[in-house]
């Protein structure tokens, strides 16, 4: 997985140790990208200061945990896509619920889908890297 510094990564405290968690199955706008600040705020509004459950199976090459974050029964990855603050990251996820949530959000023009042609974060990162 490429370097992801967008608003789909959170820090949780587990056994007095901070852990970076990348929300599985989604890719949210990056800092400095259109809707990045709104995505960050949406994620914070959902979970900041809350006790969450993380289900995970792997770490990425930066040693961040790739996992699903739940607040009670709420799947935060799914909510971010449903609310239009993240893309279903199809390169790494074939999950039908995320794909369906993105289609519904797109059709309704929610969040980043209010733009006619929003730039996916993976393209935005690639463009910025090419300019360096």
CA 68 to chain centre: 10
How would you label 5-33 residue by residue, b for 16+ Cβ within 10 Å and e otherwise?
A: ebbbbbebeeeeeebebbbbbbbbbbeeb
Is 36 within a domain?
A: yes
- For the chain, how many structural domains are there in total? 1
pLDDT in tens, 72-100: 999 999 999 999 999 999 999 999 999 99
Is 4 within a domain?
A: no
* Coil, helix or strand at residue 129: helix
Print the domain residue range for 71.
9-131
First to last CA, the chain: 20
Question: What pLDDT, on a 0 to 100 scale, did the predictor assign at position 64?
Answer: 87
Is 2 within a domain?
A: no
Is 1 within a domain?
A: no
> Beta partners for 53?
70
Is 3 within a domain?
A: no
Its pTM surpasses 0.75: yes
Considering only the C-alpha atoms of the chain, give the largest distance between any 2 of them, rounded to a whole number of Å. 44
CATH number at residue 104: 2.40.50.90
């Amino acid at each position: 997985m490429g370097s992801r510094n967008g608003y789909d990564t959170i820090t949780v405290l587990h056994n007095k140790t901070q852990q970076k968690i990348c929300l599985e199955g989604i890719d949210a706008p990056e800092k400095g990208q259109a809707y990045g600040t709104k995505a960050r705020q949406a994620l914070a509004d959902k979970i900041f200061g809350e006790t969450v459950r993380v289900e995970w199976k792997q770490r990425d090459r930066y040693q961040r945990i790739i996992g699903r974050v739940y607040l009670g029964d709420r799947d935060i990855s799914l909510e971010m896509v449903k609310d239009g603050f993240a893309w279903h990251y199809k390169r790494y996820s074939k999950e039908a619920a995320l794909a369906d949530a993105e289609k519904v959000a797109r059709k309704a023009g929610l969040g980043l889908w209010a733009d006619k042609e929003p730039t996916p974060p993976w393209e935005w990162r690639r463009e910025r890297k090419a300019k360096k």
